[in-house]
Amino acid sequence: MHVDRYAPSPTADLHLGNLRTALAGWLLARAAGGRWLMRIEDLDTARVRAADGAAARNLADLRRLGLDWDGDVLRQSERLDCYRDAIAMLGERVYECFCTRREILEATAAPHDDGYRPYPGTCLRLSRAERAQRREQRRPALRVRADGATCTIHDRFAGDVTAVVDDFVLVRGDGEFAYNLASVVDDVSSGVTHVTRGDDLLSSAPRQAWLAQLLGGAAPTYAHVGLVLGRDGRRLAKRNGPANLDEAGGPARVLPWLTASLGLGEHDDVAGALAAMPPDYEFWTSRMSIT
């Protein structure tokens, strides 16, 4: 069965780009007769507290557009033991990293499209004595040893994408579980088979699929949807476009724009958009501008 999920981070209200990706995932899941799950990725506690009430507003805005989900809402803040178990399962593949962001910046090549910089493996080569010394100076992050593995994922728009997996972070230096770990653990445990999200995250898919397989799961099929761009031609954010559903004109104005941007024509309800779904989804790769 086709099982997809939408996983907002409640650090801000959902903007047009977030809502477009949610609608795309919902349509793909419902058109396949599958399930669409909801997950709140609320591990960044400081930013979540600063955006008080954002999670409830996120869910309310999705409902206002007519999007429904299957089962209960999963909240990452309630699943910390699951992430600890995953770290334990990885065993000796996990190692401490004491590098600062500046050190990584200076030691790595150009970043991927999502801003991610592959880690060169500096701390993997430290001796036990060197680790003990550095541990006295700063709290380490935890990385997974990938041993230069390669992983191929399938994206329904981009096709097969192969990349080398670097030693990426599982637990941050502040002790919080990293997105790459928590999202994969949750996808595996929830039986997710398909992941729909923005195309800026395509380069992260091979490392996440590799980790899913390492944890005993299967790599999902991906659908990386074109982003919505702001007035400055860059990825939409609060600073360069409407910050939420109401600023964009409310459901009556936003939903027809979203369905048209997905090549389905203008629809006043999601049922109409679902009925208009064609077999070819290639046009969803186009990036859309709000101007």
Model confidence pLDDT, tens digit, residues 86-115: 999 999 999 999 998 888 877 665 555 556
For the chain, give the percent of residues with pLDDT over 70.
Answer: 88
Same fold, 3-77+248-289 and 79-225: yes
Distance (Å, whole) CA 123 – CA 98: 7
The pLDDT, as a whole number, for residue 104 is 80
DSSP state string for 65-122: TT---SSPPEEGGG-HHHHHHHHHHHGGGEEEE---HHHHHHHS----TTS------G
Question: Does residue 242 register a pLDDT over 50?
Answer: yes
pLDDT tens figures, 133-172: 999 999 999 999 999 999 999 998 889 999 999 999 999 9
Question: Does residue 126 register a pLDDT over 70?
Answer: yes
194-198 and 221-225: which strand pairing?
parallel
**Nearest Cα to 181, choosing from 41, 55, 73?**
41
CATH architecture designation of domain 3-77+248-289:
3-Layer(aba) Sandwich (3.40)
The pLDDT, as a whole number, for residue 291 is 44
The pLDDT, as a whole number, for residue 196 is 96
The pLDDT, as a whole number, for residue 135 is 92
* End-to-end CA, the chain: 38
The residues spanned by each domain of the chain are 3-77+248-289, 79-225
pLDDT tens figures, 166-184: 999 999 999 999 999 999 9
- Give the chain's mean pLDDT: 90
Active site residues: 238
pLDDT tens figures, 244-291: 899 989 999 999 999 998 889 999 999 999 999 887 665 555 555 554
What does pTM read for this prediction? Answer: 0.91
pLDDT tens figures, 206-219: 999 999 999 999 99
Multiple choice CATH, 79-225, 3.10.20.30, 3.30.200.20, 3.40.190.10, 3.40.50.620: 3.40.50.620
**Under a CB-based contact definition with an 8 Å cutoff, are residues 163 and 151 in contact?**
yes
